[in-house]
Amino acid sequence: MKTFFNGLGLILPTALAFYIIIWILEKTETFFKQLLLLMLPEEYYVPGLGIVLGLVFVYIIGILLKFWIVQKFRTFIDTTIEKMPIIGSVFGGMKDFYNFFSNMKDKKDKITVLVDIPAMDAKIIGLITQEELSKFDNLDIEEPVLVYLQMSYQIGGYSLLIPKKNLTPIDMSIEESIRFIMTAGISSGKNNQPKIE
């Protein structure tokens, strides 16, 4: 029985990952195929051209975003969408979530920490998101640091202002710490165990 569950533990995550990738590729192919068929006769269409066009489209958008006028247009579109009820909230949340993890990957300093909780005689793993907090000088906190506490198996968490003395750095990369927290430590192998500095 254990062998069966070991096999299932490999197949299910792999199958789910492939399913998501294939679903994205199929949707991309279908969408861009319709655009290509407006310009090309159907007999000239080769399966996979939609995906290629999708990749080229994303690359071109990335290049265009370097130009000032395109950045202004993007800001205008973002602002317009964010003002829409419900849609704006979903769009803003997804954008912030992406930006958060993109910014975290760019940080070279160790930002994974253990947060000391004296009242519970416990510690919780968090990520330092900001250390320069001049806006909060009036708080009665010694050297406040903004720490993000991710909830396991959920897209969400809490941002807390915590005294720097209550933090202990951990030698873990962003990817390792997020995986460790998101799966409540279940997915971590021996090499991914937190190392206290």
**Torsion sign, CA atoms 118, 123, 128, 129:** negative
pLDDT at 91: 77
| 115's tokens | 């947060």
Helices (H), 38-173: 49-64, 68-83, 87-106
What pLDDT is stored for residue 187 in this prediction?
62
Domain boundary among 55, 78, 104: 104
Determine, yes or no, domain membership for 138.
Answer: yes
- Within this chain, do residues 121 and 181 fall inside the same structural domain, yes or no? yes
Does residue 153 sit within a domain?
A: yes
Query: Number of folded domains in the chain?
Result: 2
Residue range of the domain that includes 114: 109-192
Name the CA radius of gyration of the chain, rounded. 23
Output the tens digit of pLDDT for each of the chain's 197 residues. Answer: 677 777 777 787 788 888 888 888 888 888 888 888 888 787 888 888 888 888 888 889 889 888 888 888 888 888 888 788 887 777 777 777 676 666 665 555 568 888 888 778 888 888 887 777 766 666 777 778 888 887 777 667 788 888 888 888 888 877 777 778 777 777 655 555 555 55
Q: Is the dihedral of CA 107, 109, 110, 112 positive or negative?
A: negative
Torsion 41-42-45-51 (CA) sign: positive
